Chains A and B, each alone.
Chain A
Amino acid sequence: MLKLPIYLDNNSTTPMDPRVLEAMTPYFLQHFGNAASRNHPFGWEAEEAVDYAREQVAKLIGADPKEIIFTSGATEADNLGIKGVFEMYASKGNHIITATTEHKAVLDTCKHIEKLGGEVTYLQVQPDGLIDLKELEAAIKPNTILIAVMYANNEIGTVMPIKEISVIARKHGVLVFTDATQAVGKIPVDVNKDGIDLMAFTAHKMYGPKGVGALYVRRKNPRVKVTAQMDGGGHERGMRSGTLNVPGIVGFGKACELCMLDMEADTKRVSKLRDKLETSLLLLEEAYVNGSREHRLPHVANISFKHVEGEGLLMGFNKNIALSSGSACTSASLEPSYVLKALGLGDDLAHSSLRFGLSRFTTEEEVDYTIKAISETVIKLREMSPLWEMYKEGIDLTTIEWAAH
């Protein structure tokens, strides 16, 4: 039986897997201890649970448990990773290379660093959303300390060539940080095979709880250190003070374990559903996929429906289907998605986009319902779109002098 509303906004957050909740529950009630309490069983239980979760998390990304620093989420991990390296390696240099399509948690952290006297290069991406490796290498200078490029993009799902990036970085003795929030748990991520030195990720994008994430910090070849951004009791090997969120961490561990177990089967099933959704929607005239289709997360699709405005489109079905749009009709700036614009998309196409994020729990029935609802709404809105009418009359919309507004 189809249950409404349908949730297809899994790049924002995922529902928790019931198995994760089950693992967490005892740590709210019976085992509520502080993992830093060394002198009684309550503390020991909590510490043991955290240690176990740390192993589960490390295993998913091919790391050593000692390399996992628990944080409140990916935003904090982004801040700690980038600011922490900037401070720790100040004597080596002050230049960071990143890309224009990064998440705000990285971009705004970089802006902050610029205010502190750091130097940041923002690489443009190609129309498919990938950075040009030659451009990356050319941007490296003697004072470059860090390359911060995301593993997979949150809006278009494009997967960056992290392995190739790290080869270049190694050659020049530069550290690699990656925000892998959207990738970990969805596609194989291995910090050693990928040559990653620091990596931010979070539980709630992989069927775990909100409010817990991690920063991976390499301990060998090379040994990487970050300056703490949160001072206090010296938790997490002095890199992140603050009482550990034990139930959250337990849930994070369980979520990682499940992702490792289910990844292959999930990917196979979900990518098939994504492809069905995408090919069906592309049957509509003037519908385009944004970003690389080849180098892409298996559960993500970002599609523009030309001559229909995204927010207006969402309104046609958002009571029954949860989705995001690259349009920003509500924001004061009226600026559409900076990620889509970075691909070179015109503002009109950026305003016309929808982002689909499927999950482990998405069913074929839900996909079929979505295809029908969106197709009908696009057709209906195009009938009332003056742009569609002009397009159908063969008028080149770029030749029209639009009233500035």
Chain B
Amino acid sequence: MAYSEKVIDHYQNPKNVGTLDKSSKNVGTGLVGAPECGDVMRLQIEVDDAGMITDAKFKTFGCGSAIASSSLATEWLKGKSVDQALAIDNMAIVEELNLPPVKIHCSVLAEDAIKAAINDYRAKNGMEKIQFEESVVH
């Protein structure tokens, strides 16, 4: 199976690989997936007082599509408000990266990671966690 050029580019030059201080109140961390399933994503956001995402970092254990999905997600998150970030849909990632059907779960994982990071940030700042519907693909 050949990867799309965009996937290859994100794989070769991943954007925003790294770690933010997860103990900081402004940082939300989402860790999703499982080693047994062959992919684990950790996505972190840093949010300023106005509710804007000023930084995003990821680390991913997984195939090229999983790495590309999380790399793209961090790019999209930066500069967005938390509310805007919540609107990021996995299908937008699928379209942007031209993911084949067998790789859709990678985009779902990225969406889940965003939501998990936001919920972690909300919990740290005394806000209620948002209840999301179960992911369909997993």
Binding site for B on A (CB under 8 A): 307-312, 315-316, 327-332, 334, 336, 346-348, 351, 383-389, 397, 402-405
The distance in angstroms between the C-alpha atoms of A308 and B38, with both chains bound, is: 9
- Out of B1, B35, B138, which one reaches A387, CB within 8 Å? B35
Q: Does B39 contact A (CB under 8 A)?
A: yes
Nearest Cβ distance between residue B95 and chain A, in whole angstroms? 20
Nearest residue (CB) in B for A332 is: B102
Q: Give the residues in chain A near B39, CB-CB below 8 Å.
A: 309, 329
- Out of B58, B63, B102, which one reaches A312, CB within 8 Å? B63
The distance in angstroms between the C-alpha atoms of A328 and B62, with both chains bound, is: 11
Binding site for A on B (CB under 8 A): 1, 3, 8, 11, 14, 17, 19, 31-42, 58-67, 102-103, 105, 109, 112, 116, 135, 138
Contact A385 B59 (CB under 8 A): yes
- Out of B19, B40, B62, which one reaches A402, CB within 8 Å? B40
Nearest residue (CB) in A for B108 is: A405
- Out of A328, A329, A385, which one reaches B60, CB within 8 Å? A385
26 pairs, CB–CB < 8 Å, chain A vs chain B: A309-B39, A309-B66, A311-B38, A311-B64, A312-B11, A312-B61, A312-B64, A315-B11, A315-B63, A316-B11, A327-B63, A329-B63, A329-B103, A331-B102, A385-B59, A385-B61, A386-B40, A386-B41, A386-B42, A386-B60, A387-B35, A388-B61, A403-B116, A405-B34, A405-B37, A405-B112
The distance in angstroms between the C-alpha atoms of A71 and B41, with both chains bound, is: 48
- Out of A332, A347, A386, which one reaches B38, CB within 8 Å? A347
Contact B66 A312 (CB under 8 A): yes
Main secondary structure of the interface of B (DSSP, over half): mixed
The distance in angstroms between the C-alpha atoms of A397 and B33, with both chains bound, is: 13
Contact B38 A336 (CB under 8 A): yes
Nearest Cβ distance between residue A384 and chain B, in whole angstroms? 5
Q: Give the residues in chain B near A315, CB-CB below 8 Å.
A: 3, 8, 11, 63-64
Contact A312 B32 (CB under 8 A): no
The distance in angstroms between the C-alpha atoms of A268 and B36, with both chains bound, is: 38
- Out of A309, A383, A403, which one reaches B62, CB within 8 Å? A309
Contact A329 B17 (CB under 8 A): no
Starting from the known contacts A347-B35, A386-B31, A397-B35, 9 additional A-B residue pairs (CB-CB under 8 Å) come to A309-B63, A311-B63, A312-B61, A327-B63, A329-B103, A330-B103, A332-B102, A347-B37, A403-B112
Known A308-B61, A385-B61, A389-B19; contact A348-B67, beta-carbon cutoff 8 A = no
Contact B36 A387 (CB under 8 A): no
Contact A351 B35 (CB under 8 A): yes
Contact B36 A402 (CB under 8 A): yes
Nearest residue (CB) in B for A315 is: B64
Q: Give the residues in chain A near B116, CB-CB below 8 Å.
A: 403
Nearest Cβ distance between residue B34 and chain A, in whole angstroms? 4
Q: Give the residues in chain B near A351, CB-CB below 8 Å.
A: 35-36, 38
A331, A336, A402 — most chain B CB neighbours (10 Å): A402
Q: Give the residues in chain A near B38, CB-CB below 8 Å.
A: 309-311, 327-329, 334, 336, 347, 351
Q: Give the residues in chain A near B17, CB-CB below 8 Å.
A: 383-384
Contact B42 A403 (CB under 8 A): no
Nearest residue (CB) in B for A311 is: B63
Contact B35 A348 (CB under 8 A): yes
Nearest Cβ distance between residue B91 and chain A, in whole angstroms? 18
Contact A329 B62 (CB under 8 A): yes
Contact A389 B59 (CB under 8 A): yes
Nearest residue (CB) in B for A308 is: B61
Nearest Cβ distance between residue B37 and chain A, in whole angstroms? 6
The distance in angstroms between the C-alpha atoms of A316 and B14, with both chains bound, is: 12
The distance in angstroms between the C-alpha atoms of A190 and B96, with both chains bound, is: 57
Nearest Cβ distance between residue B130 and chain A, in whole angstroms? 16
Nearest Cβ distance between residue B5 and chain A, in whole angstroms? 13
Contact A330 B1 (CB under 8 A): yes
Q: Give the residues in chain B near A307, CB-CB below 8 Å.
A: 61
Nearest Cβ distance between residue A399 and chain B, in whole angstroms? 12
The distance in angstroms between the C-alpha atoms of A302 and B102, with both chains bound, is: 25
The 9 A-B pairs of least Cβ separation, nearest first, read A402-B34, A348-B35, A347-B36, A386-B42, A405-B138, A311-B63, A386-B59, A315-B64, A329-B63
Contact B67 A312 (CB under 8 A): yes
The distance in angstroms between the C-alpha atoms of A229 and B37, with both chains bound, is: 40
Contact B14 A384 (CB under 8 A): yes
Nearest Cβ distance between residue B87 and chain A, in whole angstroms? 22
Nearest Cβ distance between residue A321 and chain B, in whole angstroms? 15
Q: Give the residues in chain A near B58, CB-CB below 8 Å.
A: 384
The distance in angstroms between the C-alpha atoms of A348 and B61, with both chains bound, is: 10
The distance in angstroms between the C-alpha atoms of A268 and B112, with both chains bound, is: 52
Contact A384 B60 (CB under 8 A): yes
Contact A405 B67 (CB under 8 A): no
Nearest Cβ distance between residue A38 and chain B, in whole angstroms? 49
